[in-house]
Amino acid sequence: MACYNKKTGDKLALKVLRDGPKARREVDLHYLTNGHENVVSIVDIYENTFHDVKCLLMVCEFMEGGDLLTQFENQSSKPYTEEKVGEIIRQIGSAVMYLHDMNIAHRDIKLENILCSTTGEDCVYKLGDYGFAKRPERNVLMESPCCTPFYAPPEVLGRERYDKSCDMWSLGVAMYILLCGYPPFYSMKGLALSPGMRSRIAKGYYAFPHAEWDSVSQATKEDIRCLLRTNPSERMTIHELMNTPLVRGEDAPPTSAPLAIPGEEMDDGGVSIGIRRPSETLSFMPDDHDEEDLMHHADEVHDKIPDEIPKSVRFLRDGVKAPRLHSIQEEVGRALEMMRMGGDAVYVKQPNLAVCSNPLLAKRYKTAHMSISSVHCS
């Protein structure tokens, strides 16, 4: 919410947190990085009590341009140019590099948490909301499965240990959205995280559809591929990202025509991810197939993909454009309500199989964990 300095009249932003260990960690880590030019500045911090509830009041600079997602949607989610995306990532990447060099993982990088100084061309982009930020001991991996599903990497959804590379996956998702207008992984079932969406994230199934991506350079697409590696140890680091032509503002190589990967996908329960060629027909799976059938079918298709095509594919029906970001959000309104709001955490729940009496749930859980390949963080 907005507030004003009584002496100067300056407009500021006020964030109220219920006092506790989590809130104090958020304030401590934010304050620790407060000096960076691309981190939202903390002006002052107060303790107070409202209706017998102890609270922390964090007064921050007011970002007139709002958050980047709102700006993006206000222009009908029209894709940004590579030059503009490079400038955004240069600024936010600088903040992330500052955090990572201090061994701090933000863990919730998304367009909503990138704040803008103005709506003009001279906008300064800053990283905010340290609600999930954590500073583990050196060489100690994190375990808390907290996330915003659209931006969550496989190791977080798979309840594995993970490191700061989780932020790099999220940056890759943000870049993808800004360059085409929709996310690489999503569910159309009104769920924050569906089985189909989870399996595609785990296997890295996404694509660069021609309509939106033909004008994007191969170098930039390769940067995204390196950020969306399912193995965290193979993922591009923040220092590597900051040294790419896109972020440095150098001219990228000419765009070359991408390989055609026609096919069709239906979300979640009914999934058709077979490659369609002139001599082949689409393969459909009925809505009542379980996760084991779905993921086995995905493996078969994955093995059919030619070697020259990157095995990170999300198939779309011929002639059908991927949904825009704003239309996806309309379809998954309930999902957005279930996503992380304010300073409250949303955790990916794990069924207690010891007391579970539902054999289908137990089977789905066992199959999902057998199908998601193990990730080793070093």
User: Catalytic residue numbers?
Assistant: 108
Using CA atoms of 270, 284, 277, 264 in order, give the dihedral in degrees to the nearest 10: -20
Q: How many CB atoms lie within 10 A of CB 182?
A: 20
CA distance 193 to 200: 11
C-alpha dist (Å) from residue 302 to 92, 204, 230, 326: 34, 11, 15, 30
Instruction: State the pairing for strand pair 2-4/11-18.
Output: antiparallel
Q: Please, where are the H alpha helices in 53-81?
A: 68-74
CA distance 96 to 102: 10
Q: Please, where are the H alpha helices in the chain?
A: 21-32, 68-74, 82-101, 154-157, 165-180, 195-203, 210-213, 218-227, 238-241, 245-248, 291-304, 325-331, 333-338, 359-371
At position 237, the amino acid (one-letter code) is T
Using CA atoms of 66, 67, 70, 72 in order, give the dihedral in degrees to the nearest 10: 120
The first and second tokens of residue 347, run together, are: 């955790």
Are 276 and 305 a contacting pair, CB within 8 Å? Answer: no
Q: Measuring CA to CA, which residue among 244, 245, 243, 225 is closest to residue 235?
A: 225
